[in-house]
Amino acid sequence: MTVAAATATAWRHRHLLDVDVLSPGEIGLVLNGALGMTEVVAGGSARTATLRGVGVTTLFYEASTRTRVSFEVAARRLGAEVVNVTAGASSVTKGESLLDTVRTLEALGARMLVIRHSGSGAPYLAAGQFGGSVVNAGDGRHAHPTQALLDLYTLWRHLAPDADPAGPFLAGRKVAILGDALHSRVARSNLWTLTSAGAAVWICGPATLIDGFGAWATGGIGGSRPFTVTTDLAAALADADAVMALRLQRERMTAGLLPSLAEYAARYGLTRDRLSTARPGALVLHPGPMNEGVEIAPDVANGPQSVVTEQVANGVAVRMAVLELLNAARIAP
Amino acid sequence: MTEVGHPVELDISRAWLVDPGTGREGPGELVVRGGVLESVGWLEGTAAAGVDATGVIVAPGFIDLHAHLREPGNEAAETIASGLGAAAHGGFTTVCAMPNTEPPIDVSAAVLAAASAAEASGSPVRLRVLGAVTAGRRGESLAPLGDMAEAGVAGYSDDGAPVASAVLFRSALAYAGSLGLPLLDHAEDVSHGGGGEAADGLISTVLGLRGSPPAAEVTAVARDLAILADVVRDVPTARLHLTHLSTGAALDLVRRARAAGLPVTCDVTPHHVALSDEWLAGARRFAWDAIDDGRRRDPWRDGAIVAPPYDTSTRVNPPLRAPEDAAACLAALVDGTADAVATDHAPHAEIDKAVEFGLAANGISGIETAAGLLLAAVDAGRLPLLRAIEALTTGPARVLGRDDVPAPGFVEGRPADLVVIDRAARWAVSPETLASRGRNSPLLGLELPGRVLLSVAGGRLAYRAPD
């Protein structure tokens, strides 16, 4: 089953390093592809094994269970041979160079490299050396392409399931992203994809955690798609169709950006009362892992409006679609 | 054919001479015999017909106030010999070497060792050594400034590690002033801007890079100027030179301080004038093309992004800033607030740049591309040619003061010190065309106007372009 396929669109990328280069048509290809994969995910069966025998290596310089496992499951469902490499954060500074590691993994058979790194831009460095495809699984504060795509997929299925995923299917919809946008690759990538789909995006948090976004908002994403930045939580939530709470890292206090976790929770935590000011039935998203009781109240995190576990399941389907598209581009003549 | 280091014989006819010593430029001819400038003639009437400033130009040899030659300690990045070779290729005949070597140049023996290395290199390019301000560049106690003055330093700088202590900075300014030497300060409040990967602004926000705010430079400049105003009351010979200023607000402070009569000079770098932070995102257009009605254009909207982002050759400190700041640097150059253009030539070995952006060493290998970037500004109609040449010659000479370098200009009977450039010839910046060991230039793969044909230092050949 595919919805109003974006027929004329071809996927042009050997790597997925950022979402800023994806056309609406390419986003539509991923979303349609993911929709086709959901039956596979639900059924637990291997699909047509389009990645049979392809070496997929996950290279994680930052701890992450859910993203790594999600990629691993996605790759295995497509028949790939998966190798997981966890590089301690210490090896980044120890002089063991990323490029050495990439060359070594390629020599060991990696054809697709899924990389997570604490430094913004690191996947670009890897892509410059790697003969296969590099998938950015999160780099520093910069980008988390598959997270943004799975968030978009989730919104598509809930808010506009019959619309063309290559079109502005979120036009007229408001999405509020709450919390630490400054350090968030999830917020940055979602700004590109959500505005591409036509959503009105609101970034909301304490002044110290949305620093710099005001200037970006004025010119707009890609210089043409404005969004709204505010410290006013009530304004951000009013009539929102979806609310995404971002994870708050403890380090933000020691860096002097916030007085305390408690103050953050009191002023910006997504509680049931606050959620009730959004549009009735507004969706609640979170990229995980959640700090329940800080950026999101437990009864909201696990409440009826939460689609957090759906996001996780959708993540596998979206990553399968991405791996398949990249693999086809990789082996194309 | 004359070899590098040997006295030159030259007959240049019908070229465009630029003499910042007298402020005159126009068609002319030069004769050099045995390295001595024998005659200079200005052509007029029919003899001058067809000679203009867009062809071959001749100017006094350039003076760089700020270069990192990496010897001793990091010879994989540069040596004094390779650095002087690169300088000559860039048209520079005098180079001031920063003391942040390993170990640092913070005692007179190290000053003399650098001078010997320059002598041994066979290059006629003059090396002027800057000594460290503080012992070990640690910012804790004064280095032996007097000893180093006797060994011949041109001034003092803790470039790269600005003197954080206001008390120590004050002492250094007074002490150096009493020796008649300038203090070259890298003005940055490291507690504010330290660890920055990019200029704080649109580009750092979009790319998710840690931002270094303009205010980190501005507050440091304000502190330096306030201290200078105090110090000159007791030490009228105190001189402050602010190097690589990169923000409009800091340049405004300097403009006001000079109007008030303070003995402060400053320089801007070619990259802060001609490039901007959008290069980190993969744009490759000059800063003056990235601005519209005084406001930056969005490179994602313009389709200006033509290269992958996060190229570590664009990582430098101070960071490449917004096009508005680049425009302010250019304006300061045009109006004379910036006395000089200094290259901040910072060569690095590949191993220090072929890493994640946040781990990459700061710096651009820039001594060979400086003239080209300024000529690009001239070509764009943004900078008078004479001002560009002044900022590379008489401007820096004035900053150095004393009789450290011969006054730039065409004076008959003196050893020739000049550069010949074919402005019409564009050249490709590539690892093969750069003489520096550091190939860390964001301009690799691009073309620059103005090929240096010949550099002559003290009457001797420093560089000749291959045929």
Asked if A24-144+312-331 and A145-308 have one fold, the answer is yes
Of B344, B352, B404, B417, the catalytic one is B344
For residue A2, the model assigns a pLDDT of 47
Residue found by looking up tokens 């708050």 in the block: A248
Q: Could you tell me the two tokens for B434?
A: 């750069």
Band of pLDDT at residue A92, cut at 50, 70 and 90:
low
β-bridge mates for residue A230, sequence order: A204
Is the per-residue pLDDT at A90 higher than 60?
A: no
Cβ contact (<8 Å) for B356 and A224?
no
Task: Tell me the pLDDT tens digit for each residue of B329-345.
Answer: 999 999 999 999 999 99
Domain boundaries, chain A: 24-144+312-331, 145-308
The pTM is what?
A: 0.96
pLDDT digits (tens, 9 = 90+) for B418-465: 999 999 999 999 999 999 999 999 999 999 999 999 999 999 999 999
What's the pLDDT at A42? 73
Least confident window among A6-20, A71-85, B240-254, B274-288:
A6-20
B383 φ, ψ (degrees, to nearest 5): -145, 125
CA distance B45 to B39: 19
Kindly identify which residue of chain B lies nearest to residue A219, measuring between CA atoms.
B298
Contact flag A20-B354 (C-beta cutoff 8 Å): no
Give the residue ranges of DSSP H helices in B179-213: 190-193, 202-207
Interface of B with A in 31-70 (CB under 8 A): none
Q: Cβ–Cβ of A120/B205 closer than 8 Å?
A: no
Cα B401 to the chain's mean position, in Å? 17
B293 is catalytic: no
B192, B207, B356: which to substitute to probe chain A, counting the most A Cβ within 10 Å?
A: B356
Whether A252 and A183 have beta carbons less than 8 Å apart is answered as yes
Q: Kindly provide the ipTM of the predicted complex, given to two decimals.
A: 0.95
Measure in Å the smallest separation between the Cα of A183 and chain B Cα atoms: 7
Sign of the alpha-carbon torsion through B273, B275, B278, B280? negative
Asked whether residue B445 is assigned to any structural domain, the reply reads: no
Which pLDDT band holds residue B251 (cuts at 50, 70, 90)?
very high
* Nearest residue of B to residue A184, measured between CA atoms: B208
Q: Record the tokens describing residue A256, joined without a space.
A: 């002097």
B230 touching A (Cβ < 8 Å): no
Is the pLDDT at B403 greater than 80? The verdict is: no
The residue count of chain A comes to 333
User: Residue B406: its pLDDT value, please?
Assistant: 82
Average pLDDT over residues B163-175: 97
Residues 6+ apart with CB under 8 A from A90: none
**All residues at 6 or more sequence positions from A162 whose CB lies less than 8 Å from its CB, including other chains:** A3
| Domain-located, residue B87 | yes
- Is residue B461 situated within a structural domain? no
CATH number of the domain within which B286 lies: 3.20.20.140
CA distances in angstroms from A268 to A183, A230, A273, A288, B387, listed in the order given? 16, 12, 12, 17, 55
The contacts of residue A38 (CB under 8 Å, 6+ apart) are A314, A317
DSSP, residue by residue, B279-308: GGGTB-S-GGGSEETTEE--HHHHT-B-S-
Q: How far is CA B278 from CA A46, B202, B207, B294, B363, in A?
A: 45, 9, 10, 16, 17
- State in words which class domain A145-308 has: alpha beta
Q: B356–A128: do the CB atoms touch at under 8 Å?
A: no
Query: Can you tell me the mean pLDDT for A22-26?
Result: 97
| pLDDT (average), residues B38-65 | 95
The predicted pLDDT at position A5 comes to 47
Question: Which residues sit opposite B7 in a β-bridge?
Answer: B460
Which of A119, A215, A223 lies at the smallest CB-CB distance from B301? A223
Window 353-372 of B: residues touching A by CB (8 A cutoff) are 354-359
- Range from A85-89, A175-179, A253-257, B266-270 carrying the lowest mean pLDDT: A85-89
The residue of chain A with its CA nearest to that of B298 is: A223
Cβ atoms of B455 and B92 within 8 Å: the answer is yes
Contact A144, A189 (CB under 8 A): yes
User: Token digits for A27?
Assistant: 């986003």
> H or E stretch including A265?
helix A261-268
Which tokens sit at B29?
């001819």
Q: Which of 101-140 (B) contact A at CB < 8 A?
A: none
CA distance B292 to B290: 7
Q: What backbone phi and psi angles, to 5 degrees, belong to B260? A: -85, 0
The highest-level CATH class for domain A24-144+312-331 is alpha beta
- Identify which of B205, B208, B298 has the shortest CB distance to residue A140: B208
- The Cα–Cα gap between B57 and B87 comes to 18
Counting beta carbons within 10 angstroms of the beta carbon of residue B452, is it exposed (0 to 12), middle (13 to 18) or buried (19 or more)? buried
Contact list in A for residue B358 (CB cut-off 8 A) is: 119-121, 140
B85/A contact by beta carbon, under 8 A = no
B298/A222 Cβ within 8 A: yes
**Angstrom distances, CA of residue B38 to CA of B32, B42, B356, B421, B455:** 5, 14, 54, 20, 17
How many CA atoms does the CB half-sphere of B141 hold within 13 Å? 2
Hey, are the CB atoms on B310 and A121 less than 8 Å from each other? Answer: yes
The answer to whether the CB of A118 falls within 8 A of the CB of A140 is yes
The verdict on residue B77 lying in a domain is: yes
| E strand or H helix that includes residue B436 | none
CB B243 within 8 A of CB B266: yes
Whole-angstrom distance, CA of residue B340 vs CA of residue B210: 30
CB-CB under 8 Å, B301 with A142 = no
Average pLDDT, chain B: 97
Q: What is the model's pLDDT at position A46? A: 56
Sign of CA dihedral A59, A65, A69, A71: negative
What's residue A6's pLDDT? 44
For the segment B124-164, what is each residue's pLDDT rounded down to a tens digit? Answer: 999 999 999 999 999 999 999 999 999 999 999 999 999 99
Number of domains in chain B: 1
The confidence band for A93, taking pLDDT boundaries of 50, 70 and 90, is low
Q: Cβ of A215 and B358 within 8 Å?
A: no
Range B276-289 burial, b when 16+ CB lie within 10 A, else e: bbbbbbbbbbbbbe
User: Using the beta-carbon criterion (under 8 Å), do A122 and B201 form an inter-chain contact?
Assistant: no
- The whole domain housing B67 covers 62-404
**A99, A117, A121: residue with CB nearest B207:** A121
Q: pLDDT-based confidence at A61, cuts 50/70/90?
A: very high
| Mean pLDDT value across residues B31-59 | 95
pLDDT at A3: 47
A chain contacts of residue B299, beta-carbon cutoff 8 Å: 223
Whether B79 is in a domain gets the answer yes
Q: Does B164 touch chain A (CB under 8 A)?
A: no
**B451 assigned to some structural domain:** no
Tens digit of each residue's pLDDT (9 = 90 or more) over A232-262: 999 999 999 999 999 998 777 778 899 999 9
What are the backbone dihedrals phi and psi of residue A82, each rounded to the nearest 5 degrees, phi first?
A: -105, 135
